[in-house]
Amino acid sequence: MIELCSVSKYYTSGFFKQKQTYAVRDVSFSIRKGDTLGLVGESGSGKSTIGRMALRLTEPSAGRIVFDGIDLLAQKKPALREIRPRMQIVFQDPDTALDPRFPIGESVAEPLAVWHRAFRHEREDRVAALFEMVGLQPELAGRRPFELSGGQKQRAAIARAIALEPEFLVLDEPTAALDLSVQAQILSLIQVLKKRMNLTILFISHNLAVVERMSDSLAVLHKGVLVESGRTAEVLEHPQDLFTRQLVDAANGSYPFFRNRIISVNE
Ligand SMILES: Nc1ncnc2c1ncn2[C@@H]1O[C@H](COP(=O)(O)OP(=O)(O)OP(=O)(O)O)[C@@H](O)[C@H]1O
Ligand SMILES: [Mg+2]
């Protein structure tokens, strides 16, 4: 469904732009349709940069990205615009997706209007259906973001992201800002939506417990380089790379958190 081939991103700095710093170097992976790939790594390792490049929200410095057989980097603006609705992103902070001035119902309806996906009179029904899908009471549609809890806001941000029925979703630490019980609810919601909509997901997190629960396969990023990847259980049980081993040990060190708290919390 989505494939990254030797993708790099560097930033230039200095007066003559003479200095190059790599945020991401030579990263390759692919995600099959309907699968979830977990991307883990320390802060600053380049996770968000990869997530944004996968959707071409950030332009890679080198490499190739193939989405459903389409060479994404070769597409000109109009063609890219056609593809955009098929891929969406959810950020850690729902406030980046929700305009504070508008009721959340409008924020959820906006993509439908912009992409002409529903006539005005149909939009209300579509929004109600989306609210139902993400577990938000319909009466919350009139509230503005500051009148909602973090969990409710993230549900609204997810509703907006799935409004155009995307096939590929990048989730960039979608629960990192939420407390544990809410985190578990949102993770369950994502799993339900994934099944219902047959979503392909790039799930970014620095929390191994979360990634273990959510992903079929796992890619470990360290200082912008992919150091290990494979089936999730395989990587976590037999980590080959030293950095992965350190991550797993650190996660096991906080044992109750890693094994029990997140993984066994079901709605
Ligand atoms: N616009 C930019 N200009 C220069 N450097 C940047 C820019 N954007 C990101 N970087 C650098 O790229 C590197 C990777 O950043 P990125 O945000 O992808 O990391 P991350 O793994 O998502 O971190 P976190 O877990 O904290 O979210 C960092 O060193 C960052 O400073
Ligand atoms: Mg990030």
Residue 65, number of CB atoms within 10 A of its CB? 19
Pocket test for ligand 1, best of 39, 40, 45, 205 (most atoms within 8 A of CB): 45
Cα 43 to its chain centre, rounded Å, is 16
Structure tokens at 222: 């360290």
> What's the structural domain count of the chain?
1
Cβ–Cβ under 8 Å, residues 146 and 108: no
pLDDT tens for the 267 residues of the chain, in order:
999 999 999 998 877 777 888 999 999 999 999 999 999 998 999 999 999 999 999 999 999 999 999 999 999 999 999 999 999 999 988 888 899 999 999 999 999 988 888 777 888 899 999 999 999 999 999 999 999 999 999 999 999 999 999 999 999 999 988 888 899 999 999 999 999 999 999 999 988 889 999 999 999 999 999 999 999 999 988 888 888 888 888 877 654 444 444 443 333
pLDDT of residue 265: 38
Q: Which domain CATH number covers 25?
A: 3.40.50.300
- CA–CA separation, 263 vs 265, rounded Å? 6
pTM, to two decimals: 0.90
Q: What is the DSSP string of 128-157?
A: HHHHHHTT--GGGGGS-GGGS-HHHHHHHH
- Least Cα distance to 236 among 223, 249, 255, 226 occurs for 249
pLDDT of residue 254: 54
Ligand 1: residues whose CB is within 6 Å? 11, 23, 41, 43-49, 206
pLDDT of residue 249: 81
Q: Starting at the edge strand that comes first in sequence, how are the strands of the sheet with 62-67 ordered?
A: 19-31, 2-13, 62-67, 70-71
What residue's CA is closest to ligand 1, atom 5? Answer: 11
pLDDT of residue 174: 92
pLDDT of residue 253: 66
Q: Which domain holds residue 131?
A: 2-264
- CA–CA separation, 249 vs 197, rounded Å? 35
Q: What is the DSSP string of 42-96?
A: -TTSSHHHHHHHHTTSS--SEEEEEETTEEGGG--HHHHHHHGGGEEEE-S-GGG
